[in-house]
Every structure is written in structure tokens, then in C-alpha cells.
């Protein structure tokens, strides 16, 4: 754009008179009057940007500057006689930059509202906070449950057997469950940390089903294998220290892991024999019934009822579920040898520990 001359004059009527005063060469041209935005406190018309160091002509004249051809333009206070703008004077803004309305005046605070109606959006916020609290509680429970279960189970066993045996029992149950946990993770499946149930045992939650019954059998038998190794370690410590408590712990480990090989769910043995033959589940139910008849244990009765319901469900499987139990013959032979071999070793260890306890009593 070509720069206009700096000293031009025009006849400008002011308060009904015709006065000759210098015009602002950087005032907006008339052709912009039609396209200029409407005047409002928050949107005043813009101006052209003057060059650096430019002083508007009305800053050196005692007369106020106005633009009659643009009546919506703001009026500015007159300059002083000495040619200096009075206090509080602000020059016009550059073209294209809006003039913002002044800040509102301070008002006295209003009295609190007595309307007890719930504000809009409060219900959603409350629900969001409640959902967040539930999620945080679930995560905290998931993290703290294994540790809390250890403390509760340790206290229960300590009341019955003393704190030394209680610590040993918790340690042997932990070794058993870590056998499951390690093999589950080795097969690429998610698993929880061991959770203890006072006076019953412990469990590891497998969060995804294995590929086939062989993987399930190997995961299930890993717990008794680790428990057998834990009982053997207690026996070896007894041989070195002659402390009877280690022999008691060895007997407990052999006994509890042999009991866990009963071929019926929810025992580990019920999952192992699924890779051998489904008819072992019937044998397991018979053994549970005989055990309840001899001991009158409510615990065995509850396990027998659970095992019976799961056996019925597995015999009524669909063709798609039956494919889960189809594995090669060599895999069945391997699982069969591991199952009966481990059961025999645990039985021998339990009998030997029991005889040794009677001998050193």
C-alpha cells in the first residue's frame, strides 16, 4: 500500500462549525466504512498500523480528534496546550486488532443462594467419583489380598499349632502354589499371586484357559512336584539339625501334596487325570465318599459335592469342548507316568516321616 502524505488538511465540521485541522493520515479510508465491523463495547473498529515513532496529529493540538465520516469511531480526549496527551489517553489501536471492552466494575458480593437444587452436572461428577473409587478399591484389594491372606492364615495356624509350625506351613503352601505360578507364566498365561485361605490352603487364579488338557495337567502337577521338593528339603534340614519340627513339616508337605493328587476336581489330581482318562474322576468321587464315611469330615463332603458337579459338567461337554481333551498318545503316557510316579514318591515319603516321628517321640 502506498503511504499517504504526513501533512494533509481537510475541512472537518466540528460542533456545527467548520474548522481546518490536520487529519490523521492513518485513519481508515472511506471504502472500509461499509465493511467495518459494527461498533460495540467489545468490538470497536480497527485502524491502520502507523509506522514506528509516528505521533498522531491530534496529540499536538488542543482540539479533540473525531471522524465525522465514521460516527461509530470512538472520541478521544483533547491534548493539552503544550502538545502532550493528557493522563489516561490511549492512542487508537492498529488496524485489524480489536479494542476490548473495559473490565467490569467491582460489585458487592451477593448473599449465598438458598436454592438446594442439585447443580447441573453434579450427578455425573458424583457418579464418576464413585466409579473411580470402586476401581481404586478393586485395584487395592487385588494388590493387598495376597498379603492380607498371608497374615490372616498365619494367625489362624499360629493359634492351633504355634507360630513356628505356622510359619513352616505357610512357607510350604507358598512353595506349592509357586510351582503352579511358575509353570503358568512359562506357558505365557496370566496368573495371580498366591492367595491363602485360612485352615484350607491356598490357590493361584489362572486368568486364561490353557491350549489343551496336557498344558492343564502340567500346570496342575507342578504344584505337588514343588511341594514334594519342599518336603524333601525339610527332611534334609532335619538330618542336619535333629530338630523334630523339621520332620513334622516334611510329613505335612508329603501328606498335603499326596492328598492334593486325589483324581477329582477341585484337587490338582482331578486336572491331571483329565489328560489320562475321564473315568478317573469317577474313581476320585468313590475315594472321597470312602474318606467321608471314615472321617465324617464336613470338609471332605463339601469337596465331594463340588467334585461331583464338575464331573457331571465335564461328561456333558460339547464337541468343541471335547477337542480340548484330544492329545497325542505319547502325551497321555507322559502325564500318566508323572502322576503315578509322583504319587508313589509322596506316599513313601509320608510313611517314612511318620515312622521316624514315632521312633523319635
Number of H helices and E strands in the chain, helices first, is 9, 4
Pairing of strands 195-197, 9-14: unpaired
Judged against a pLDDT cut of 80, whether residue 155 lies above it is answered with yes
What is the C-alpha to C-alpha distance for residues 283 and 280, in angstroms, rounded to an integer?
5
| Coil vs helix vs strand at 146 | helix
Q: What are phi and psi of 273, to 5 degrees?
A: -70, -10
What is the model's pLDDT at position 81? 47
**Nine-digit cell string for 129:** 467419583
- List beta partners, residue 243: none
Q: Locate all alpha helices (DSSP H) within 199-324, ordered by sequence.
A: 213-241, 244-259, 268-272, 279-295, 298-315, 319-322
- Bridge partners for 20 per DSSP: 11
Sorted by where each begins, the domain ranges of the chain are 144-208, 216-361
What confidence score (pLDDT) does residue 98 get?
44
pLDDT of res. 338? 95
Higher pLDDT, 243 or 299: 243
Q: What is the tens place of the pLDDT at every residue in 194-232?
A: 899 888 888 888 888 888 899 999 999 999 999 999 999
Angle of the 213-241 helix axis to the 244-259 helix axis, nearest 10: 160
Confidence grade of residue 290 (pLDDT, cut at 50, 70, 90): confident
- pLDDT given at position 92: 54
Alpha-carbon distance of 29 to 35, in angstroms, equals 11
The torsion angles phi and psi of 188, rounded to 5 degrees, stand at 80, 25
CA distance 339 to 359: 31
- Which value, to the nearest 10 degrees, does the dihedral of the CA atoms of residues 323, 327, 328, 334 take? -170
Q: Among all chains, which residue has been given the C-alpha cell 470312602? A: 290
User: What is the mean predicted confidence (pLDDT) over 306-313?
Assistant: 82
**pLDDT tens track for 116-148:** 555 555 555 666 676 776 766 666 666 778 888
d(CA 155, CA 203): 18
- In order, the DSSP letters of 267-299 are SHHHHHGGGT-THHHHHHHHHHHHHHHHH--HH
Per-residue pLDDT of 56-114, as tens digits, reads 554 444 444 444 444 444 444 444 444 555 566 555 554 444 444 444 555 555 555 55
Q: Which helix (H) or strand (E) holds 18?
A: strand 17-22
Q: Which residue has the higher pLDDT, 179 or 308?
A: 179
- What is the overall mean pLDDT for the chain? 75
Statement: residue 154 has pLDDT above 70? yes
Residue 59's nearest CA partner among 25, 77, 83, 75 is 83
Put residue 293 in one of left, alpha, beta given phi > 0 → left and psi -120 to 50 → alpha. alpha
The pLDDT, as a whole number, for residue 178 is 94
- Per-residue model confidence (pLDDT) at position 147: 86
**Percentage, residues of the chain above pLDDT 70:** 61
Amino acid at each position: 500500500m502506498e503511504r499517504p502524505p504526513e501533512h494533509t488538511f481537510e475541512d472537518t465540521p466540528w460542533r456545527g462549525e467548520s474548522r481546518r485541522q490536520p487529519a490523521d493520515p492513518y485513519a481508515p479510508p472511506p471504502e472500509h466504512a461499509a465493511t467495518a465491523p459494527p461498533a460495540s463495547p467489545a468490538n470497536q473498529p480497527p485502524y491502520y498500523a502507523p509506522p514506528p515513532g509516528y505521533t498522531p496529529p491530534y496529540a499536538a493540538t488542543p482540539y479533540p480528534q473525531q471522524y465525522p465520516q465514521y460516527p461509530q469511531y470512538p472520541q478521544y480526549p483533547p491534548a493539552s496546550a503544550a502538545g502532550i496527551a493528557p493522563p489516561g489517553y490511549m492512542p487508537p489501536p492498529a488496524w485489524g486488532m480489536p479494542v476490548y471492552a473495559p473490565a467490569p466494575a467491582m460489585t458487592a458480593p451477593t448473599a449465598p443462594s438458598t436454592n438446594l437444587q442439585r447443580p447441573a452436572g453434579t450427578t455425573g461428577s458424583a457418579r464418576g467419583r464413585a466409579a473411580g473409587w470402586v476401581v481404586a478399591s478393586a485395584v487395592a484389594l487385588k494388590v493387598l489380598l495376597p498379603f492380607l491372606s498371608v497374615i490372616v492364615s498365619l494367625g489362624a495356624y499360629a493359634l492351633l499349632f504355634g507360630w513356628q509350625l505356622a510359619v513352616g506351613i505357610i512357607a510350604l503352601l507358598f512353595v506349592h502354589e509357586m510351582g503352579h505360578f511358575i509353570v503358568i507364566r512359562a506357558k505365557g498365561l496370566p496368573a495371580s499371586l498366591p492367595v491363602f485361605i485360612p485352615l484350607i490352603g491356598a490357590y493361584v487364579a489362572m486368568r486364561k484357559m490353557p491350549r489343551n488338557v496336557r498344558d492343564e495337567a502340567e500346570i496342575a502337577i507342578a504344584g505337588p512336584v514343588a511341594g514334594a521338593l519342599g518336603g524333601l528339603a525339610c527332611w534334609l534340614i532335619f538330618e542336619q539339625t535333629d530338630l523334630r519340627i523339621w520332620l513334622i513339616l516334611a510329613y505335612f508337605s508329603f501328606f498335603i501334596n499326596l492328598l492334593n493328587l486325589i483324581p477329582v476336581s477341585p484337587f490338582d489330581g482331578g486336572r491331571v487325570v483329565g489328560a489320562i482318562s475321564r473315568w478317573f474322576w469317577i474313581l476320585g468321587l468313590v475315594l472321597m465318599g470312602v474318606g467321608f464315611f471314615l472321617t465324617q469330615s464336613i470338609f471332605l463332603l463339601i469337596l465331594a459335592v463340588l467334585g461331583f458337579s464338575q464331573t457331571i459338567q465335564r461328561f456333558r461337554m460339547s464337541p468343541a469342548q471335547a477337542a480340548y481333551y484330544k492329545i497325542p498318545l505319547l502325551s497321555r503316557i507322559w502325564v500318566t507316568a508323572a502322576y503315578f510316579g509322583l504319587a508313589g514318591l509322596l506316599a513313601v515319603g509320608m510313611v517314612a516321616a511318620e515312622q521316624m516321628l514315632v521312633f523319635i517321640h
